Amino acid sequence: MVRVSENSATASLSFALNKAKRKMEDLQMKGTSLKRITRPSDDPIGNVETLNISSSQSDIKQYKRNIDYSKTQLAATDKALEQLGDILLKAKEIAIAQASDFYGEGIRKNVANEVYQLRNQALSIANKRIGQRYIFGGFKSLDKPFTPDGKYHGDKGHVTVEVAKDFFIPMNLHGAEVFFTTDDSSNKIEHPLKKFPELENKNKHEGENEKVNDVGMGRDLASITEAEGGFAAYNNMFSQLEALATALENDDAVLIQGLLEKFDSTMDRMVGLRTRVGSLMNSAESSENVHEADNVNFAERKSKVQDADIADLFADITKQQGILKTTYQTAKGTINQNLLDFLR
């Protein structure tokens, strides 16, 4: 009977001692991490809330990466539109200056070379890219959107990016809406100068495939022939610039004057597109500001749920140290008893 009682007491002391040690280890772990919840069993409801907050914070990090990428794309697009606007403004200034009878044929032919350079600059901007992706290619961002003769190989896709939950914004403009006055950007075969009857009549020749030669440079204007995939001059920025250069070469003041309205229309479109890009950037920045505020709120809430109160924690540690010490002393007094203690 004594043997059973001794075993029972020993088991009870062992259980109490192990329990006190586990409690102390748990408090020491919390003291090391300063976290109230170190395992799900500490607070199941609080643990679920902490996981939800962590998931939301992870989403915000991805949204912010998306926003940064979209802002880079939109900033590059805005800069390209600004440069195109400067090119059109320069072309318009040339057209205004050369539309009068003050300048002769020789001067106009020399100025035509400058217009061709403006056209080449516009083509370079049209094929601008960030990394390996062309900004005006639509969904076909890995392929060069414009050929040297001005043919568009991109599509009308708008790449969207999620900047907040279920909120997507486009981060690009496709080449058709940038370089066309109208929405007709199809690759139909059409003489690009048909909207300029003055130039056609002045340079009319026999045959269907008429060509207008670049007098100063000794080459054919590829995009103002009736070649496959040519753009209409009425809605193509490149052909408008080429039409101005050709009019200067042919000393056609009437056509130069007629181009002024077309340049105005194209410049207005650049302003409208820049406004749209600006509104998209504002949307991205607004979403970013919301995420910053949400991050602060989530961090505060997560801290309240997960973090330990330092004063309470160290008070508990001190208290548990006393309990553990008492348990050790009790166990020592009981376990160290021998046969003589029972015979007294």
Query: How many residues make up the chain in this entry?
Result: 344
Locate the DSSP E strands across the chain. 129-130, 133-134, 160-164, 167-170, 213-214, 219-220
> DSSP letter at 191?
-
Is pLDDT larger for residue 323 or for residue 168?
168
What pLDDT score was predicted for residue 115?
94
- The DSSP string of 157-181 is ---EEEEETTEEEE----HHHHH-S
Cβ pair 201, 194 in contact under 8 A? no
73 exposed, middle or buried (CB, 10 Å; 0-12, 13-18, 19+)? Answer: buried
Residue 40 is encoded by which pair of tokens? 């799900």
For residues 322-335, b (16+ Cβ closer than 10 Å) or e, as one string? Answer: eebeebeeebeeee
Span of 79-88, 172-181, 210-219, 307-316 with lowest mean pLDDT: 210-219
> Would you call 133 helix, strand, or coil by DSSP?
strand
Domain ranges of the chain: 56-295, 309-337
> Does domain 56-295 match CATH 3.40.50.970?
no
Residue 197 pLDDT:
47
Spatial CA neighbour of 54 closest among 307, 301, 263: 301
Q: What is the pLDDT of residue 305?
A: 80
More confident residue, 2 or 231: 2
Q: How far apart are CA 24 and CA 151, in angstroms?
A: 76
**Claim: this prediction has a pTM higher than 0.75:** no
Percent of the chain past pLDDT 70, that is, above it, reads 69
User: Looking at the predicted structure, is the pLDDT value of residue 80 above 90?
Assistant: yes
Question: Percent of the chain having pLDDT more than 90?
Answer: 43
Q: Which of 160-174, 196-210, 214-228 has the highest mean pLDDT?
A: 160-174
Distance, in Å, from the CA atom of 276 to the CA atom of 298, rounded to the nearest integer, reads 33
Report which of residues 101 and 94 the model is more confident about: 94
pLDDT digits (tens, 9 = 90+) for 128-161: 999 999 999 999 999 999 998 888 899 999 999 9
pLDDT tens track for 241-286: 999 999 999 888 888 888 898 999 999 999 999 999 999 999 999 9
